[in-house]
Amino acid sequence: EQYVYRFGGGVSEGKAGDKNRLGGKGANLAEMASIGLPVPPGFTISTAMCARYYEEGERFPDSLRAEVAAGIAHIEGVTGRRFGDAADPLLVSVRSGARVSMPGMMDTVLNLGLNDATVEGLAAASGDARFAWDSYRRFIQMYADVVLELDHGAFEEALEIAKEDRGYTLDTELSADDLRGLVAEYKQLVEQLWGRAFPQDVHDQLWGAVGAVFGSWQSDRAKVYRRLNHIPGDWGTAVNVQAMVFGNMGDTSATGVAFTRDPSTGERAYYGEFLINAQGEDVVAGIRTPQYLTRAARERAGAKPLSMEEALPAVYAELARVFDTLETHYRDMQDIEFTVQQGVLWMLQTRSGKRTAKAALKIAVDMAEEGLITREEAIARVDPSALDQLLHPTLDPAAARDVLTKGLPASPGAASGAAVFDADTAERWAADGRAVILLRTETSPEDIHGMHAAKGILTARGGMTSHAAVVARGMGRPCVSGAGALSIDARAKVARVGGRELREGDVLTIDGATGEVMAGEVATIQPELAGDFGTLMEWADTVRRLKVRANAETPADCRTARDFGAEGVGLCRTEHMFFESDRITAVRQMILASDERGRRAALDKLLPAQRADFTAIFQVMAGLPVTVRLLDPPLHEFLPHEEKEFAEVAQAAGVAVDVLRRRAAELHEFNPMLGHRGCRLGVTYPEIYETQAHAIFEAALDVAEKSGEAPIPEVMIPLVATKRELDLMKAVVDRAAEAVFAERGRRVEYLVGTMIELPRAALKAGEIAESGEFFSFGTNDLTQTTLGVSRDDAARFLGAYVEQGIYARDPFVSLDVEGVGELVALAAERGRATRPGIKLGICGEHGGDPASIAFCEQVGLDYVSASPYRVPIARLAAAQAAL
């Protein structure tokens, strides 16, 4: 098996499609080389070697030595330099590159190949001793950190002291001799901390770095990132070894990152940042605040330092040509890393650029309209889940803002929350249900879990492509970066700006669209869903087969759902209406009644309220189907749980406190989820379902009479396991319907169906379909009952289950297609065999999850039902599933 693949210098042993084998970076380097773009020569060690490396106890097979030697020979041949040559040495970079990009998660070593002899050769060959010693200094520092895993603080301290001793403020003030001295110190530090001398053999250096890159695949931060992004642990990373090019060789050298379109807004304009006389990682790490790429962007920001377009016009023009070549070639917005070495442009990376949801929409719609991609491709390009970012409120422009300072608008959206200064606190407070904003001087990959837990991220340093900005955009978290006026003291947990202070817990608001940072909470408004969003949704609607409904039980939710394009209500959970303050007492009286007469008396009080609820919902959903589920939860949920509430509740219900207490104790169940709930309530107290049915049909007739447009009620019986249960409950509903129709002298169309949320119901679906006119898969309960995992207790162990690959994703979020899905498919098939054309839908949370929606398309359900804010996500996912 071949493990090493070469590229550059007219050779290309891979292509963009080889990401699984070569990783994203390696595959695209090969692709760029093959279309004639300037790529420094190099080779990629495949991801398969990563797996083998771990299989063999973190060792390399002997066969790899020869392959790597051939790879080095390839680079030597193209560059005309030799690795380890004391006169004119070849230096290489060693970088990770997984199948999908994991920004900042894994390791990189630059300037590899320097030692006490080659540094002199580099100085002589480049004619720049300062450059050579600075490169050696950087190499030791990076190697010590990444490969030897020594405390990097010690090296930074030595650098600071070297500057202080000489009265310098900038690294660039250090002379060649200063740096030579610093290198000696660094080597001593390595001996002290590592117990051995810094490796002088360039081949030892190389193997150390390759091992470190493979090792970084199993680092804690990489594991966290994979968990958050659902990246399998067995994919592994590739290693790219490539000839170094230097952006730190004076004022005609530079390094930068760029996007072919604005990743924040999607605007068709080159977008990026660069630093003159700097090396790659300086831009990404956010250590120096970089300069703009284009003049227009610089002028818009009112920034002084010249843009690349102005400072290096010829190379900029070439770069712009490369951008166009790449966009036409990849037919997507690209995210690029480049280096300019003494006026010559080199491409170090390209990949599809991460973008905000807003940018994704705009770019997809624009590219389709530019004719670069088809409409179907545009639909496929937008991640449905990312739409979530757009469907949520933004700051009300009319609200007062107490602006503290302004940074860069790094990731859009608005967020308010309590200030926290470290990732662990962010995670802890968020777990307690608090909204937090994470404040950091700059973020690093160690902060990922805190960024994820936070509602928003604010940094004092770093540009639009800093770690904080890239990660926040990827996660859909609002972020303001580089708020330079802000001084953050993480140890003292305080941030200072313009004479004011923010302490831990103080509430602030950030606006990721403008970069503003405000004290206190600022009011928000609902999003506008026109423009590109509307266009893409229209395109999606022409493609999808699945209908999309909403789970909604208030007129307001129904309105939102309809505005978002819902084509009906797939689940109206009536119990939520029972908790409203004007009826909870009647509900409790019903529960506390000792006989049917007492229950009916209480239910009679409930009836008008229920009827009003349904009337309001039917009005909003006029002309569309509304699935109303009869009462589902165990009755004790409606009784008070805290001792202090008992007296008040008893008084309101007109019973003695000990009667209430006794009844509450009677209703106690060991396992209420499997207890007296669902249709079991209807079987034991049919008058409850009867009353609900009355309310439904009366409301339907009211709306039909008033608006002329009759709703189509679909009455749904929960937690059915047997046909007999459904028969009994259907008889109750039909009787109520006939009674109402007779009384009013008018009928409406309606259906009676059942939820499929127990394995027995799925298995007996053929029989159940004899009575059931529709099925709605209640996959929340079906998951719970199929897996035997309590949906309310799963959080304690499901994380570990997902981490260990027992389930690929949380099965309550994304359908367990293999298990629960098999029951769904089987029930659909058996139901259809009995009743061809039986209406089939899904109303568990999975109805809003794109992967689950793809499955629903596959088994041919008629509709999915999602929470109102997820309706657009479901529309897009349904379209993608149909492509």
Size of the site for ligand PEP (CB under 6 A): 10
Both tokens assigned to 703: 């709306």
DSSP-derived letter for residue 526 is P
Helix (H, G, I), strand (E, B) or coil at 115: coil
In the numeric block, the tokens 């995670």 are attached to: 427
Q: Are 445 and 108 in contact (CB under 8 A)?
A: no
Separation between Cα atoms, residue 861 and residue 845, nearest integer Å: 15
Region from 319-327, 451-459, 774-782, 815-823 binding ligand PEP, contact rule CB under 6 A: 774-782
Between residues 844 and 848, which has the closer beta carbon with respect to ligand PEP? Answer: 844
Of 391 and 720, nearer to ligand PEP (C-beta) is 720
In the bound complex, what is the minimum distance in angstroms from residue 632's beta carbon to ligand PEP?
6
The residue (of 356 and 814) whose beta carbon lies closer to ligand PEP is 814
The CB density around residue 299, as the number of other CB atoms within 10 Å, is 11
Among positions 516, 757, 816, 862, the unique one binding ligand PEP when judged by CB under 6 A = 757
Among candidate residues 299, 309, 318, 325, the one with its CA nearest the CA of residue 34:
325
Q: What angle do CA 208, 212, 215 make, to 5 degrees?
A: 140
Using the contact rule CB under 6 A, the part of the chain among 173-181, 463-471, 610-618, 772-780 near ligand PEP is 772-780
How far apart, in whole angstroms, are the C-alpha atoms of residue 782 and residue 678?
Answer: 13
Strand locations in 244-358 (E): 254-259, 271-276, 291-292, 334-341, 344-352
Q: Does 570 bind ligand PEP (CB under 6 A)?
A: no
Q: What is the dihedral of CA 16, 20, 24, 29, to 10 degrees?
A: -50
Q: Judge whether 410 and 517 are in contact, CB under 8 Å.
A: no
Using the contact rule CB under 6 A, the part of the chain among 163-171, 289-297, 759-767, 773-781 near ligand PEP is 773-781
Of 360 and 828, nearer to ligand PEP (C-beta) is 828
177: tokens are: 């001799």
| x-or-dash string of contact with Mg ion, 720-749, rule CB under 5 A | ------------------------------
Could you tell me the smallest distance in angstroms from the CB atom of residue 711 to ligand PEP?
Answer: 21
Q: In the window 621-660, what residues touch ligand PEP (CB under 6 A)?
A: 632
* Contact stretch for ligand PEP (CB under 6 A) within 195-203, 442-450, 777-785, 805-813: 777-785
Spacing of C-alpha 132 from chain mean position:
42
Residue of 24, 97, 199, 844 that binds ligand PEP (CB under 6 A):
844
Shortest distance (Å) from residue 713 CB to Mg ion: 19
Residue 780 touches ligand PEP, criterion: CB under 6 A: yes
Q: Single out the residue of 506, 500, 518 nearest to residue 420, CA to CA.
A: 506
Residues 6 or more apart in contact with residue 549 via CB below 8 angstroms: 561, 566, 567, 568, 569, 570, 571, 625, 627, 841, 843, 863, 864, 865, 866
Number of residues binding to Mg ion, judged by CB under 5 A: 3
Q: Which is nearer to ligand PEP, 462 or 844 (CB)?
A: 844
For residue 277, what are the CA distances in angstroms to 131, 250, 400?
10, 5, 44
- List the single partner that 844 binds among ligand PEP, Mg ion, none, CB under 5 to 8 Å by kind: ligand PEP
**Selected binder of ligand PEP within 771, 779, 786, 814 (CB under 6 A):** 779
Is 467 labeled as catalytic in the residue annotation?
A: yes
- Indicate which single residue of 778, 811, 841, 850 sits in contact with Mg ion (rule: CB under 5 A): 778
By beta-carbon proximity to ligand PEP, the closer residue of 592 and 827 is 827
Is residue 573 a contact residue for ligand PEP (CB under 6 A)? yes
Q: Is 868 in the site for ligand PEP (CB under 6 A)?
A: no
The yes or no reply on residue 843 touching ligand PEP (CB under 6 A) is yes
Q: What is the DSSP string of 330-388?
A: HSS-EEEEEEEETTEEEEEEEEEPP--HHHHHHHHHHHHHHTSS-HHHHHHHS-GGGGG
417 is a contact residue toward ligand PEP (CB under 6 A): no
- Cβ neighbours of 796 (radius 10 Å): 8
Contact 532, 361 (CB under 8 A): yes
Q: Residue 540 to residues 85, 543, 545, 561: CA-CA distances in angstroms?
A: 60, 5, 10, 17
- By a kind-dependent CB cut-off of 5 to 8 A, residue 779 interacts, out of ligand PEP, Mg ion, none, with ligand PEP
Does position 575 bind Mg ion by CB under 5 A?
no
**74, 452, 467, 636: the active-site residue:** 467
Which listed option, Mg ion, ligand PEP, none, makes contact with residue 843 (CB within 5 to 8 Å by class)? ligand PEP
Pair 572, 843: CB distance under 8 Å: no
Can 452 be counted among the known catalytic residues? no
Which of 208/778 has CB closer to Mg ion?
Answer: 778
- Nearest approach, Cβ of 718 to Mg ion (angstroms)? 6
Residue 703 CB, nearest approach to ligand PEP (Å): 25
Instruction: Closer to ligand PEP by CB, 104 or 718: give it.
Output: 718
Instruction: Please identify which residue in the block is written with the tokens 């409406």.
Output: 748
User: For Mg ion, which is the closer residue by CB, 327 or 781?
Assistant: 781
Does position 778 interact with ligand PEP (CB under 6 A)? The reply is yes
Dist. CA 460–CA 486, nearest whole Å: 6
Please identify, using beta-carbon distances, which residue of 367 and 843 lies nearer to ligand PEP. 843
From the candidates 479, 558, 843, 856, give the one annotated as an active-site residue: 843
781 interacts with Mg ion by CB under 5 A: yes
Tell me: does residue 781 bind ligand PEP (CB under 6 A).
yes
CB-based contacts of 496, cutoff 8 Å, min separation 6: 486, 487, 489, 502
Residues recognised as catalytic: 467, 843
| Chain positions contacting Mg ion, by CB under 5 A | 757, 778, 781
| Chain positions contacting ligand PEP, by CB under 6 A | 571, 573, 632, 757, 778-781, 843-844
